[in-house]
């Protein structure tokens, strides 16, 4: 009986020690960020803050009509932001969503000098872009005359040419802000934006800049937070009548 009591006491002691080691301090889960909001949009957007994995998830509406977002961050009593201002601006939402150049980390410090780091994750519900390829697989690379200046005797005239990309998902702008871009990518990987574009319910017309170099290009389309690279290249050629 004494042996059983000794084993029971030893087991209780071991369990107690194990529980003490595995217990996460309660202050780790205490709320440090009272609210995290976007305040320069038509409707206020509030992020979800997780104290468990120290993550701030900000979900933006599909086609948010803003080039930058301004934040209002309210902290719990006793906390201050260490490494960035409370109204930190993301200057270009579309660029951030497409390229995600850096993780945005917010570091908080309490009155004891202890630090907490939170990573901001920005997401949207935008579906992937679906565009139609410019020609069928196995066919000859499609050729497009470039934009050039011609002179038929009445003085020089700029003749614009464009590429037509079919899609029923593209929206050119929201609240006056351009959210669609078309790029030509040459053999070296250099991208040239075709800045003059027009859109309709069925696709995009992107106009070539004047005297763009002839040769083969890949075509890439950006639309707000999504990007798609067309599988088949195109070839830019001189316009008939160019010298």
What is the rounded average pLDDT of the residues 135-145? 94
Residue 40 shares a structural domain with residue 116:
yes
Residues 189-210: pLDDT tens digits? 999 999 999 888 888 999 999 9
Query: Of the residues 68, 95, 124, which one is the last residue of a structural domain?
Result: 124
Residue 108 shares a structural domain with residue 35:
yes
- Side-chain half-sphere of 21: how many Cα atoms within 13 Å? 6
Q: Per-residue pLDDT for 212 more than 70?
A: yes
Identify the CA nearest to 181 among candidates 166, 199, 193, 192: 193
Q: Per-residue pLDDT for 243 more than 80?
A: no
Distance between CA 88 and CA 84 in Å, rounded? 7
- What is the domain extent for residue 222? 142-237
The answer to the question of residue 216 being in a domain is yes
The answer to the question of residue 63 being in a domain is yes
Residues 5-21: pLDDT tens digits? 433 343 444 444 444 44
Total Cβ atoms within 10 A of residue 36: 22
The answer to the question of residue 129 being in a domain is no
Residue 69 shares a structural domain with residue 152:
no
| pLDDT class of 175 with cuts at 50, 70, 90 | low
H helices present in 67-218, as ranges: 93-99
CATH number at 83 reads 2.60.40.2340
The answer to the question of residue 12 being in a domain is no
Count of domains observed in the chain = 2
The answer to the question of residue 19 being in a domain is no
What is the rounded average pLDDT of the residues 72-82? 90
CATH number at 215 reads 2.60.40.10
Residue 37 shares a structural domain with residue 119:
yes
């Amino acid at each position: 009986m004494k042996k059983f009591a000794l084993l029971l006491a030893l087991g209780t002691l071991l369990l107690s020690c194990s529980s003490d080691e595995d217990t996460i301090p309660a202050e780790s889960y205490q709320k440090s960020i009272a609210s995290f909001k976007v305040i320069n949009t038509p409707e206020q957007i509030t992020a979800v803050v997780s104290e468990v994995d120290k993550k701030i998830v900000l979900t933006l509406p599909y086609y948010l009509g803003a080039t930058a977002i301004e934040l209002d961050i309210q902290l719990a009593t006793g906390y201050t932001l260490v490494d960035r201002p409370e109204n930190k601006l993301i200057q270009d939402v579309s660029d951030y969503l497409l390229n995600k150049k850096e993780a945005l980390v917010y570091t908080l410090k309490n009155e004891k000098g202890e630090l907490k780091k939170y990573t901001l994750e920005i997401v949207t519900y935008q579906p992937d872009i679906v565009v139609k390829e410019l020609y069928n697989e196995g066919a000859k690379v499609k050729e497009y005359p470039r934009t050039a200046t011609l002179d038929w005797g009445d003085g020089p005239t700029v003749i614009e040419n464009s590429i037509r990309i079919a899609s029923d998902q593209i929206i050119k702008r929201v609240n006056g802000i351009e959210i669609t871009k078309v790029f030509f990518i040459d053999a070296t990987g250099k991208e040239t934006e075709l800045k003059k574009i027009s859109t309709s319910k069925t696709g995009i017309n992107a106009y070539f800049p004047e005297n763009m170099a002839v040769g083969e290009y890949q075509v890439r389309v950006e639309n707000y937070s999504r990007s798609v690279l067309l599988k088949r290249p195109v070839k830019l050629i001189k316009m008939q009548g160019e010298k």
